[in-house]
Amino acid sequence: MGVKGLQYFMDCCCPEVCVTVNLRDMAEQHVARSPDTAPCSDSTDPTLVVDGMACLRHWYSCKNWVCGGQWREYMDVLQSWVEAFNSAGIRLVFFFDGVVEEQKRKEWVKRRRRVNGEISKIFRYIKAHEEQPGRELFCLPSGLATFTCFALRSLGQEVFCSVQEADYEVASYARQHGSMGILGQDSDFIIYDSVPYLSVAKLRINSLTTVLYDRQRFCRAVGLAVTQLPLLACLLGNDVVSEGQMQHIRNSAVATYRKNSPVPHHGAPQGQMVLAVSQFVSSLWGREEEEPGHILQSMTLSAFHQELLERGICAYLLPGQEGLHRNEVSARPPASAFEKYVSPEILKACREKHVAAEGFMVYGVVCEGVIECSNTLEDEEDTELLPQALVYKPCRQHIYGLLLGHDGSAVDPPAIREWFVYPGNPLKEPDVVHPVSLPCGRPSLDSLWFGTGSNVSALRLTSFLTIFDCQEFSELYGTVDASLLAALCLVTYIVLQVQTVSQEDVDAYLSQVVCLSVKSPQDIRQIKLPFLSSRAVQLGSLYVRGLSHLLGANCASGCPLPNAALMPWHSFDGVLFHSKYLLAHSGTDKTVLLDSDSSCLSLFLHLREKLLETCRKRGRVLQSRPRHSATGQSHKTTTGPRGRERPTDWLIFALDHRVGLQVVVSGGSQEER
């Protein structure tokens, strides 16, 4: 969520609320008093509950962000971040959004549309300048939140995926377990009556200092009690009560405030707004302990607005806190949307894996009947490349069929509602997608998930590969690394689904996967891209989104492959892929494409032949379609925004991973469609 304008008010208009703290000192003080204040704590270490979604922009500090993500470098950043807290004896517990509540759907759609506009600007910039935009257009790499959960788990951290509003679960967990604080960047955390709210935006990781937003000081500044803060938040506007729905109340409050305060405090308009609405809220209470339900009745609201405010206030009430005489937000597991289609054991496992951030996609399908996918770096003007949501739709349909289908049943499995963001989708309503049974039949889900023995293992692998129409690759299982098998499966699927994918694109995908395994971090850092291709940017995002579908298929099939093998840091680096794309489309010899490494070349040719053989069997013949610089400028350089010279013709380089040698190849220009 987030209260409109409240974070700005605290940072800019109310300095007494912002207290600089040292987290090491804070942890020591917390331990000293924890025997009395944290009886429910399940750890002797001071614990920070981290709002993972709020940290993503701070964690992803890699220089290149537009090419699909520099995942190994990102892993190093996460590891250093975690170690900084571990060295101070601070335990971390991470929470990530696991669902989008339907009452928040309108706000979710609004944000997704706004980001679509920003992505359009990014692609226009790339096509005009052939380089990455500045930080003002920064966009997180596709799939970052999904894979960060798994990254943190691989680093030994405790990670939870929410089954309701993530902010609520963060505040609830922190209060219940007596944590030392919540690390995030969301003004809702000052509204919840929970533990101290600490800023991740102002965190200095080297010194472990940040700003604590003091709830009691905030209450004194605005003249309210903690129990009155939820109503203040709703009147200012949040994800439950939109800003426009309470505009008339705010206008009246501001008029009264200005009339009664000839010299208003906090001259900024937002400062006046928060103080004016706070003054209005305070005036409603005859006594501090009066129930919010009585207060709302005294406001002469319409039935709709009163019910809306009730829901908004209840969203802030944590377990055990008294409030309106209505059901509090339930901590019980939600009823499955399709419980008659799966066993109770499957339902239980779905929820447990989801909460523990060990699964992907299956919880939304089985327990909610809804899945969503946020924005992807896709060029709405490129009509040749299908949006990833449509490319992977057949794969998802097979996953749904595997999870919900019934052998011999005359009843069709239920449809899934998909909220996928892609060019051309207005997001006015979900896409209704029907499950499709696997060609090999529908194996028992209980057997796949809980069965043992070699036959079951083979069935899991067959189910997984069949989802991507790559059954033939079962012979490669155990002979090549699992991450290579997964990558081959994914690239083959992309080729079968997207008819405009060319030989050069396949060479770029496969050479990148093969070469990544022998690249050191220094090798990756030394790669300098002469220019960017908007098409390569989209192909990079398409691949990473495909990895999340591999993950969903793997979970649905009973995990024939270790989930770790499907992580992007094992098979993808955006800059490396982009360099291979430029090389492949320049007609570079395969030996150079594979860094003059004979073992890499041999493996590449082996995987490539398997892909081509599978495609031929399905009537898909790859064509050579080299693409060059979109600008068509030949053998010229222009000065970039930082004063450096950069090539704008299709200068391509090969980086020898052993000596760092850049080999430059040039050629004529051709329009990129």
Q: Alpha carbon 170 to chain centroid distance?
A: 17
The answer as to whether 641 is a domain residue is no
Q: Are strands 158-161 and 91-96 parallel, antiparallel or unpaired?
A: parallel
Answer yes or no: do 413 and 558 share one domain: yes
Mean pLDDT, range 125-133, rounded to an integer: 97
pLDDT in tens, 16-25: 999 999 999 9
- Report d(CA 303, CA 294) in Å as an integer: 14
Distances (CA, A) of 424 to 380, 386, 427: 8, 11, 9
Other beta carbons less than 10 A from residue 125's beta carbon: 18
Answer yes or no: do 249 and 174 share one domain: no
Answer yes or no: do 550 and 595 share one domain: yes
Residue 54, H or E segment: helix 52-59
Name beta bridge partners: 662. Answer: 655
Indicate the range of 264-268, 363-367, 392-396 predicted with least confidence: 264-268
Domain boundary among 194, 222, 250: 222
Q: In sequence order, what are the residues at sequence separation of 6 or more whose Cβ sits closer than 8 angstroms to the Cβ of residue 327?
A: 314
* Sheet containing 158-161: order of strands: 18-22, 209-213, 197-199, 181-184, 47-51, 91-96, 158-161
Which residue shows structure tokens 């594979």? 594
Rank 303-317, 356-370, 593-607 by mean pLDDT and report only the highest: 593-607
Domain boundary among 598, 622, 646: 622
Which residue shows structure tokens 């994918």? 501
The answer as to whether 236 is a domain residue is yes
Name beta bridge partners: 49. Answer: 93, 182
Answer yes or no: do 127 and 24 share one domain: yes
pLDDT band at 145 (very low <50, low <70, confident <90, very high): very high
Answer yes or no: do 137 and 252 share one domain: no
Answer yes or no: do 382 and 516 share one domain: yes
- Report d(CA 559, CA 459) in Å as an integer: 11
Over 80: is that where the pLDDT of 664 sits? Answer: no
Answer yes or no: do 90 and 199 share one domain: yes
Answer yes or no: do 172 and 123 share one domain: yes
Answer yes or no: do 308 and 388 share one domain: no
Over 90: is that where the pLDDT of 172 sits? Answer: yes
Inter-residue contact 638 to 648 (CB < 8 Å): yes
Say which CATH number the domain at 14 has. 3.40.50.1010
pLDDT in tens, 36-49: 554 455 556 899 99
Answer yes or no: do 218 and 231 share one domain: no
Q: In sequence order, what are the residues at sequence separation of 6 or more whose Cβ sits closer than 8 angstroms to the Cβ of residue 41?
A: 34, 47, 177, 178, 179
Domain that holds residue 66: 6-222
Please give the backbone phi and psi of residue 528, each rounded to the nearest 5 degrees, phi first: -120, 115
The answer as to whether 636 is a domain residue is no
- Report d(CA 545, CA 367) in Å as an integer: 22
The answer as to whether 326 is a domain residue is no
The answer as to whether 671 is a domain residue is no
Domain boundary among 622, 651, 667: 622
- Report d(CA 588, CA 607) in Å as an integer: 19
Query: What one-letter code names the amino acid at 407?
Result: D
The answer as to whether 661 is a domain residue is no
The answer as to whether 49 is a domain residue is yes
Over 60: is that where the pLDDT of 462 sits? Answer: yes
Q: What does the DSSP 8-state code read for residue 327?
A: P
The answer as to whether 586 is a domain residue is yes
Mean pLDDT of the chain: 88
pLDDT band at 668 (very low <50, low <70, confident <90, very high): very low
- Report d(CA 144, CA 367) in Å as an integer: 24
This prediction's pTM: 0.89
Answer yes or no: do 258 and 345 share one domain: no
- What confidence score (pLDDT) does residue 644 get? 33
Query: What one-letter code names the amino acid at 600?
Result: C
pLDDT band at 441 (very low <50, low <70, confident <90, very high): confident
Mean pLDDT, range 315-333, rounded to an integer: 63
- As for how many domains the chain has, the answer is 3
How many residues in the chain? 673
- What confidence score (pLDDT) does residue 268 get? 63
Answer yes or no: do 470 and 531 share one domain: yes
